[in-house]
Structure 1
Amino acid sequence: MVTLHLNSTSWSMNIKHQVTRLQPNEVRIPNKIDWSCLASTKFEQPDERLRLSLSTFENQRDCGSESVAAILFGNGSDCDLSLLTRRRSAGAVPLGAKYRLIDGVVSNCIHSNITKMYALTQFNSTSLNSHLTRAYSNFGLGKDHFLQVIAACQTPQNQTWFQGNADAIRRFLWMLEDSPVTDFLILPGYHLYRMNYQEILHFHQQTTADITISALISEQTNDKGFGILTVNSDNQVLNGSKSGQSDLLQVGSRLVENCKDNKCTTYASMGIYVIKKEALVKILKEDFPWANDFSSEVIPGAISIGMKVKAHLFDGYWENMQSIKGFYEANMESTKTTDIRYDFCHRDFPLYTLARRLPPTRVLDSLISDSSIGDGCILNNCRIKGSVIGHGTRIEDAVVIEDSILMGSDIYQEDLVPLMKKKKSTIRIGIGQGSFVRKAIIDKNARIGRRVMIINKDNIQEGNRKDQEFVIRDGIVIITKSAIIPDDTIL
């Protein structure tokens, strides 16, 4: 038993929302709490004692947290980020000046007290595997708190790579079956949203469903890449369809009659599933051992054999990165001060990521407005408006950046000198003197020469110039990673 003696006259708001009062002098502590605020905590009566039982602290859990493990995927067929995923998986794409896309999903798990996570990776996974290992290797305390990266591999029994998310899980069922959990939470690791997974877990347990699917209330007819669900008044999923496919679920007239008797609504699936472990093993090993994809094969199959499939509705902000435009707008959320749909500066629900230990950004005689600036940047006499500037970015004199995303650099100039000599280029990493960048995405380690104009001068909506290290998507110019743009170029 630990006893803290804290004197004061009233509860401090920085701790009050984190604990639940049991008796006048006793509170219950959740698994995660910002202990640093205890120094300023105030209580209602002088000499009031806050009694913290370590056994209560260790044993108190949210609904189903200890019996649930999350399975994260770093890439998916619904995600199309063009050149940004040429050398990395979608989950590893930089976001909001300092994060990666997968950080949002991992942060959701941490805030929802999901402490067992498996990340299944395959396509262009080097960057993602490195980030997850470095950022979350010391996550939590004890053997029950972990994020384990499971990379695709070939075995004597199976010489092929993953054929889809269902196939990936099937390959590692031998490991997942040994996990001491009753349910698996399956998550695409490249979407941006803020969700407390305890809500869908509680719904899943209350309804005793075999499978629960998270569905988007705001999208009833637009397929977001995971199909459209037909849901009755009891939130039971009766049918489903996917763009380009018709009548995915051939389950007979009974479901059609049920839909006539009950008021049915269609919702877009978010690709988030809670599945009982025994149901997952049965459907992947016995019922549909050939199925490779959850949305188009496993879920329709589960309904067809009578499994209890429910839909849990979500009405918050959600961006699944189906396009460059969606990715661009998601980044722009970090620059907003009003009408914010996703708050990167949320006090009670922050994003976690790798601690890079970079120096503070240095700003010299520059004008910056409505922008997000990462650590370790050097900004010299430039003007930046409505832009996201990633860590390690160097911007020279008289540069103008408007409505753009600069992903920054992993290399300092001193480290780049040997590479510059090898490629016989004198262009420094970053944005050269006198350049103008408007509505563009510039990937990491790019070297933009002097007086370069990246402005989409011909107002092209779609264009391919991969041989020149840039493309145009949705009217946005994308400069590829490590590209070299010569002086006086106009794009």
Structure 2
Amino acid sequence: MGRVLAIILAGGGGQRLYPLTMMRSKPSVPFGGKYRIIDFTLSNCVNTGIRRIYILTQYRSGSLNQHVFEGWNISGSRLGEFVYNVPAQQKTGTDWYRGTADALRQNLDLIEEKNVEYVLILSGDHIYKMNYQQLVDYHVKKKADLSVCAVRVPKEQAAGALGVLEIDANSRLLGFEEKPLNPKTIPGSPEYALGSMGVYIFTVGVLQKALQEPGDDFGKNIIPQMIQGNRAVFVYDFEKWNKIEDFIVQYKDGKRFSVLAKRTRDSSYWRDVGTIDSYYEANMDLIGVDPSFNLYGIKWPLRTYERNSPPSKFVLGGNATESIVSKGCIISAGTVIRSVLSPNVIVERGSVIEDTVIFEDVVIEPHAHIKKAIIDKHVHIESGASLGFDKEKDKQQGCTISETGIVVVPKQHVIKALK
């Protein structure tokens, strides 16, 4: 994959994830216990063999810069391997990035400096596993100028939420509409639409020429212009063609053994975690016996930065069921049910945590009761406090309530026991 350069767009402010993005960018929001959202895109790159990666940052990038430096410092830079954060620098004028295409336009010098044939453009804020080599092979086979990755979604879900692609029987792109209220459907599947994943691969010369045209966004401007110009633009059906090979666990006669699967169940899993509710649901996808998205693969490891924390422990009858519990947690006579705990979370006696996502270094004092919440870092839950049972009281304490009722506690907050 030495002929491919990856550019990850990680400059989004993530307003719909507020208050989780109050002090950090969306790609650096913690996810799944010990990861950050951007780790999944970076892991896909490294697992595919792509080792030349630029990350374009802009808003509230301090946390992301530190995470990439500490967790993704590829040591082979002299051999042409690197992961570099590139902050917005107003290279072409006085404006910051005005859109996805403008972010690339302002950094064309990075592409021109490298001897590459293809530029892979990725979003840093989605949860999925993808073998980008298969995408490159598809792009070459189609002799495409641009290949756009798409995921099948119910048309009602796509309406007003995703860029929607219209294709012919040969998967050639006929039209691109940005968040239409009445999306075009897939030929032969009238209940589904093809939603853009924000994953593109360009032949390098085509990208350079396309960015000479006006327009700041790929979906709204560049791609429609290429379609009108009769460029060879094709759609890669992620659900149909993406294949992740990994071991799966099976049982026979009471014995556990691993079998190599040519295509794992989560090969078709893709989630845009751009809202509080979608973020919460994606975390809950991780905790089942047979989860929709598997963190425990062997051949497709998910990498991240990890603090030096001791093992977790459960004392005085403390327990956790149907949950993910990261390093350094202490469950002391408390109960954790269907939840995701990041490192160094303390749950004291008599406290019950249900259907909740908890970030690092949270302390929950005795006899607290929490249900359907997301708790940011360094939060202190005082003895006898409750969350998720009275929305008005939760709001009084400075919490945000999502559309489906998920309670979000901001970073470094204190939750008191209200009468």
How high is the TM-score relative to the length of structure 2? 0.86
Whole-angstrom CA distance in 1 between matches of 2:3 and 2:373:
45
| Among candidates 450, 454, 457, match of residue 383 of structure 2 | 450
Percent of residue pairs identical: 30
CA drift of 1:134 comes to 1.1
Whole-angstrom CA distance in 2 between matches of 1:142 and 1:164:
32
1:391-410 matches, cutoff 5 A: 391-409=343-361
Q: Does 1:214 align with 2:149?
A: yes
Match of 1:470 in 2: 399
Q: Does 1:284 align with 2:211?
A: yes
Match of 2:249 in 1: none
Q: 1:70 to 1:133 in 2, by over 3 A?
A: same
1:339-358 matches, cutoff 5 A: 340-358=291-309
**Given that residues 224 and 270 in structure 1 are in contact (C-alpha distance below 8 angstroms), is that contact kept between their aligned partners in structure 2?**
no
Whole-angstrom CA distance in 2 between matches of 1:130 and 1:121:
12
CA drift of 1:328 comes to 0.8
- Structure number with higher strand proportion: 2
Stretches of structure 1 lacking an aligned partner (at least 5 in a row): 1-64, 249-258, 410-428
Q: Does 1:204 align with 2:139?
A: yes
Stretches of structure 2 lacking an aligned partner (at least 5 in a row): 240-267
Q: Does 1:231 align with 2:183?
A: no
Match of 2:235 in 1: 311
Q: 1:148 to 1:220 in 2, by over 3 A?
A: same
CA drift of 1:80 comes to 2.4
Match of 1:382 in 2: 334
Q: State the secondary structure of the residue aligned to 1:217.
A: strand
Match of 1:322 in 2: 274
CA drift of 1:489 comes to 2.8
Q: State the secondary structure of the residue aligned to 1:334.
A: coil
What's the CA shift string for 1:191-211, capped at 9, x where partnerless? Answer: 001111111110001111111
Q: Does 1:123 align with 2:74?
A: no
**Given that residues 131 and 354 in structure 1 are in contact (C-alpha distance below 8 angstroms), is that contact kept between their aligned partners in structure 2?**
yes
Whole-angstrom CA distance in 2 between matches of 1:240 and 1:78:
23
Match of 1:59 in 2: none
The ranges of structure 1 where at least 4 consecutive aligned residues each deviate by more than 6 angstroms after the TM superposition are 245-248, 262-265
Whole-angstrom CA distance in 2 between matches of 1:160 and 1:364:
56
Match of 2:112 in 1: 177
**Given that residues 13 and 59 in structure 2 are in contact (C-alpha distance below 8 angstroms), is that contact kept between their aligned partners in structure 1?**
no
**Given that residues 159 and 183 in structure 2 are in contact (C-alpha distance below 8 angstroms), is that contact kept between their aligned partners in structure 1?**
no
Q: Does 1:332 align with 2:256?
A: no
Q: Does 1:275 align with 2:202?
A: yes
CA drift of 1:107 comes to 0.5
1:410-429 matches, cutoff 5 A: none
Match of 2:412 in 1: 482
Q: State the secondary structure of the residue aligned to 2:79.
A: coil
Count of aligned pairs: 385
Q: 1:367 to 1:355 in 2, by over 3 A?
A: closer
**Given that residues 30 and 36 in structure 2 are in contact (C-alpha distance below 8 angstroms), is that contact kept between their aligned partners in structure 1?**
yes
Q: State the secondary structure of the residue aligned to 2:44.
A: helix
Q: 1:72 to 1:229 in 2, by over 3 A?
A: same
Larger Rg: 1
| Among candidates 168, 184, 190, match of residue 103 of structure 2 | 168
How high is the TM-score relative to the length of structure 1? 0.74
RMSD (CA atoms): 2.5
